[in-house]
């Protein structure tokens, strides 16, 4: 239940604004003004799991993908896979290839959005630079060529989605339990093929640029959410990076495989879901380690940590270099999400190329038909931000009776709180919040790339609320942006 | 057999049409399109949606063009400011009465209600939306009815009765509580009269009756009733 005002040593202020993707950070202080803890609060409530009850299962891709305008394709795929399981059939090979291609488009556009539009202002202009300039407009001013490269790369990703599925955003008409509704035409495939060389060049140049910056960012690498945790992600049968199918692998901080979930429908044997009264976001944890000890991370960093290779030539070279940053091939610092994301971006462009060059992608057999054969279905896909799970139960008529969705951003929830606590302990020294400190808290959240609009680095107001609370629960200082 | 032609004016244009013609048809034959959702060529007119209301000079009342026959020397107005306002209100009432969420509807982009709202410039709904939660009947092998999207145009009922000739579908209750039912309010799978001919899905203007798994653009066919009637009359 949402509360307003002070209660004991905690202060609830919610909802702060019209919260679609808004966050609230509360920093708790000890008696001596040092930081005790920091809480990352998501005061948003969407209710998809409840209001989809009673709807036909085949409407689920269209409904659930509305959870997100940035990564609707990942929801479409996780949902369609859950529906595939309900009808109990394997989609035609070309339908799977097209779904994968569409997903590569999604990854490219989302990763480009995070790096160029949201994170590059911090990295290129500086954490303490003028906040009025620290946005994509500032980047356009400083390096118009780089900004244009980012915008074009994102456009390429969006175009893949549009050419495959008809629309750039919320292209739910195309997907169907058991396949897809229409094939890819040669004209559309040729259009995409023509854009590949430029996209590949952009992805490589961006990675080179970022590697050049890394030398000057050692302090951030050391202090931005640099802690041990478990990592989870899908891997292909031979251990490579995987976004659509495969097995769910959990690795520990030493690089040992802690669990391998071959049948994703058994995800609940591995993942528990805790709740906290101060956040509407669930706290998933690795079951065998309990809560909160079983904190794990998902997303680009985790996918690279759990995988043994990428599987495309250019990305594999970068992958080997990246792995040297950590012990036993496990990279701990949250800051390296940026690095992992750019390697993945390169992989996705290469993988899109590989899919587009396969003549089988133009096959017209993409649809299969079936009725409800199973009363339960689980779909797992790797969204740009991490592992996404849709789990439905239906009645014999195919009406949803139960729905559980674990959104990628949720998996990192325990890790967010660890990461902002670490940043706050490093940078908050006095009873006065500095703008640069505020931005560092945001920057570590941004590195995770959560699906909250607080990470938009919006031109103008940033919807972030940082509170400084002393040990008696008194609000010492508060900055709202 | 000689046809008695009547002279009248529609929107100031002098026309002559056969006696007994409905105003909607007379206007259409002369290039004037009056909005309608329930009327469909090939089916008997019903006069349910009230979108085709027109003004006839000399009367303060409004007349539904689909069921009002032309008369001699009538002066008909089809598109006055008052009518435009009323039509927008009718569409808003239809949108408010049940659960109409275009973005997640199977009929999105192929919906006559959606197209009508666009055409008339309905950009908001001034009435409180009801958001009904009637259970969906998908017991039939491939036909599904989601009554939350039904606008009670009765096209499905009329085509089932007048063209297919089985009268499986009908209405129960009154006013906003009306519901399309199968036989004596059975689940669709239990209907002994339904021939699974799909005509109801073909003429449904919205996403209330559809074929599971089939793109709705393939299913819809507004000409089907007139086509079958025409072929039958040739015999």
The residue assigned the tokens 């009673």 is: A54
What residue segments make up the domains of chain B, in order of their start? 5-79, 86-234
Q: Given CB atoms, is A176 within the 8 Å cutoff of chain B? A: yes
Q: Shortest CB distance from A56 goes to which of B109, B138, B141?
A: B138
Would you state the pLDDT for residue B67? 96
Model confidence pLDDT, tens digit, residues A304-322? 999 999 999 999 999 999 9
Chain A residues inside the 8 Å CB shell of B215:
173, 181
Query: What CATH code would you report for B5-79?
Result: 3.10.20.740
ipTM: 0.71
Residue A290 in this model has a pLDDT that exceeds 60: yes
d(CA A474, CA A477): 9
Chain A residues inside the 8 Å CB shell of B106:
59
Helix (H, G, I), strand (E, B) or coil at A387: strand
Q: How far is B94 from chain A (nearest CA, A)?
A: 21
Contact B215 A397 (CB under 8 A): no
Among B138, B149, B210, B218, the residue to mutate for chain A (most A Cβ within 10 A): B138
Contact B215 A177 (CB under 8 A): no
Q: Given CB atoms, is A369 within the 8 Å cutoff of chain B? A: yes
Q: How far is A63 from chain B (nearest CA, A)?
A: 6
Q: Which domain holds residue A432?
A: 5-46+417-480
Instruction: Assess if residue A36 is contained within a domain.
Output: yes
Residues 20-79 on A with a CB inside 8 Å of B are 54-56, 58-59, 62-63, 66
Q: Which residues contact A377 (CB under 8 A, 6 or more apart)?
A: A57, A81, A82, A83, A84, A85, A86, A265, A391, A392, A394
Instruction: Assess if residue A327 is contained within a domain.
Output: no
Would you state the pLDDT for residue A19? 24
Chain A: residue whose CA lies nearest to B133: A54
* C-beta neighbour count of A403 within 10 angstroms: 23
Q: Given CB atoms, is B218 within the 8 Å cutoff of chain A? A: no
Spatial CA neighbour of A106 closest among A47, A33, A159, A61:
A159
Chain B: residue whose CA lies nearest to A176: B213
Q: How far is B138 from chain A (nearest CA, A)?
A: 6
Residue A457 in this model has a pLDDT that exceeds 70: no
| Tokens coding A388 | 């996404």
Fold of B86-234: Alpha-Beta Plaits (3.30.70)
**Mean pLDDT lowest for which of A97-111, A297-311, A336-350, A398-412?**
A398-412
Phi-psi region of A225 (alpha: psi -120 to 50; beta: other; left: phi over 0): left
Contact A54 B106 (CB under 8 A): no
d(CA A396, CA A338): 46
Model confidence pLDDT, tens digit, residues B71-87? 999 999 999 999 999 99
Chain B: residue whose CA lies nearest to A58: B213
Residues 243-272 on A with a CB inside 8 Å of B are none
**Mean pLDDT lowest for which of A34-48, A248-262, A270-284, B19-33?**
A34-48
- Binned at pLDDT 50, 70 and 90, residue A197 comes out as very high
Contact A181 B109 (CB under 8 A): no
Average of pLDDT values for B151-166?
97
Chain B residues inside the 8 Å CB shell of A62:
103-104
* N-to-C CA span, chain A: 25
Contact B138 A181 (CB under 8 A): no
**Mean pLDDT lowest for which of A152-156, A285-289, A466-470, B188-192?**
A466-470
d(CA A134, CA A119): 10
Model confidence pLDDT, tens digit, residues B174-232? 998 999 999 999 999 999 999 999 999 999 999 999 998 788 888 999 999 999 999 99
A-B C-beta contacts closer than 8 Å? 39
Q: Given CB atoms, is B233 within the 8 Å cutoff of chain A? A: no
Residue A51 in this model has a pLDDT that exceeds 90: no
Average of pLDDT values for A163-188?
91
- Binned at pLDDT 50, 70 and 90, residue A148 comes out as very high
Q: How many structural domains does chain A have?
A: 1
Would you state the pLDDT for residue A481? 53
Q: Given CB atoms, is B213 within the 8 Å cutoff of chain A? A: yes
Report helix angle A313-323 to A337-357, nearest 10.
160
Chain B: residue whose CA lies nearest to A59: B104
Residue A471 in this model has a pLDDT that exceeds 90: no
Would you state the pLDDT for residue A316? 95
Instruction: Assess if residue A32 is contained within a domain.
Output: yes
Instruction: Assess if residue A30 is contained within a domain.
Output: yes
Chain B residues inside the 8 Å CB shell of A399:
135-136, 138
Asked, as a colleague might, if the bond just before A168 is cis with ω within 30 of 0, I would say no
Chain B residues inside the 8 Å CB shell of A66:
103-104
Among A397, A398, A400, A401, the residue to mutate for chain B (most B Cβ within 10 A): A397
Would you state the pLDDT for residue A9? 40
């Amino acid at each position: 239940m949402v509360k307003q005002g002070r209660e004991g040593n905690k202060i609830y202020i919610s909802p702060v604004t019209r919260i679609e993707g808004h966050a609230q950070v509360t920093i708790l202080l000890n008696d001596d003004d040092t930081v005790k803890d920091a809480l990352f609060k998501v005061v948003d409530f969407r209710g998809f799991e409840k209001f989809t009850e009673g709807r036909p299962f085949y409407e689920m891709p269209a409904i659930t993908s509305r959870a997100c305008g940035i990564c609707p394709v990942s929801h479409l795929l996780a949902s369609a896979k859950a529906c595939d399981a309900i009808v109990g059939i394997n989609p035609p090979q070309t339908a799977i290839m097209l779904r994968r291609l569409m997903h590569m488009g999604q990854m490219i556009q989302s990763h480009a959005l995070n790096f160029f539009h949201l994170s590059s202002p911090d990295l290129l202009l500086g954490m303490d630079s003028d906040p009025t300039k620290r946005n994509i407009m500032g980047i356009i001013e400083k390096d118009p060529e780089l900004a244009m490269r980012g915008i074009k790369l994102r456009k390429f990703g969006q175009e893949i989605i549009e050419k495959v599925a008809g629309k750039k955003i919320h292209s739910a008409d195309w997907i169907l339990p058991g396949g897809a509704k229409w094939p890819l035409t040669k004209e559309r495939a040729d259009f995409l093929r023509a854009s590949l060389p430029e996209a590949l060049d952009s992805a490589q140049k961006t990675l080179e640029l970022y590697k050049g910056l890394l030398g000057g960012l050692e302090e951030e690498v050391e202090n931005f959410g640099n802690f041990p945790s478990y990592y989870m992600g899908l891997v292909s049968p031979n251990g490579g990076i995987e976004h659509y199918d495969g097995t769910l692998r959990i690795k520990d901080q030493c690089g040992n495989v802690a669990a391998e979930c071959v049948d994703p429908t058994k995800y609940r044997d591995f993942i528990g879901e805790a709740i906290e009264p101060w956040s509407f976001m669930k706290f998933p944890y690795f079951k065998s380690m309990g809560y909160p000890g079983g904190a794990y991370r998902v997303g680009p960093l985790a996918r690279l940590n759990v995988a043994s290779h990428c599987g495309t030539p250019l990305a594999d070279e970068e992958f080997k270099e990246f792995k040297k940053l950590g012990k036993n091939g496990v990279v701990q610092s949250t800051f390296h999400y940026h690095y992992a994301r750019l390697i993945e971006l390169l992989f996705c462009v290469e993988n899109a190329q590989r899919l587009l060059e396969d003549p089988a992608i133009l096959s017209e057999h993409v649809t299969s038909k079936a009725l409800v054969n199973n009363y339960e279905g689980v779909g797992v896909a790797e969204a740009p931000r991490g592992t996404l799970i849709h789990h439905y139960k239906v009645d014999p008529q195919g009406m949803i009776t139960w729905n559980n969705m674990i959104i990628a951003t949720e998996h990192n929830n325990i890790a967010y709180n660890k990461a902002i606590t670490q940043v706050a302990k490093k940078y908050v020294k006095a009873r006065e919040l500095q703008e640069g400190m505020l931005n560092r808290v945001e920057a570590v959240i941004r590195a995770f790339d959560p699906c909250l609009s607080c990470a938009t680095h919006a031109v103008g107001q940033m919807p972030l609320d940082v509170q400084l609370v002393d040990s008696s629960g008194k609000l010492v200082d508060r900055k709202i942006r | 057999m000689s046809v008695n032609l009547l002279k009248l004016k529609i929107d100031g244009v002098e026309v002559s049409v056969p006696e007994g013609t409905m105003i909607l048809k007379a206007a259409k034959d002369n290039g004037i399109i009056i909005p309608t959702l329930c009327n469909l060529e090939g089916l008997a007119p019903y006069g349910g949606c009230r979108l085709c209301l027109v003004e006839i000079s000399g009367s303060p009342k409004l007349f539904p063009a689909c069921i009002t026959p032309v008369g001699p020397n009538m002066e008909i107005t089809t598109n006055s400011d008052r009518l435009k306002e009323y039509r927008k209100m009718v569409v808003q009432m239809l949108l408010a009465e049940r659960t109409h969420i275009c973005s997640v509807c199977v009929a999105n982009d192929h919906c006559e209600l959606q197209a009508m709202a666009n055409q008339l410039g309905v950009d908001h709904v001034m009435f409180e939306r009801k958001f009904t939660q009637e259970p969906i009947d998908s017991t039939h092998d491939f036909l599904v009815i989601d009554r939350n999207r039904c606008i009670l145009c009765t096209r499905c009922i009329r085509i089932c009765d007048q063209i297919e000739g089985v009268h499986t579908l009908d209405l129960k209750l009154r006013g906003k509580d009306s519901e399309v039912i199968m036989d004596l309010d059975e689940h669709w799978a239990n209907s002994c009269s339904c021939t699974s001919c799909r005509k109801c899905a073909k003429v449904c203007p919205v996403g209330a009756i559809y074929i599971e798994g089939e793109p709705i653009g393939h299913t819809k066919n507004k000409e089907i009733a007139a086509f079958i009637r025409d072929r039958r009359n040739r015999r």
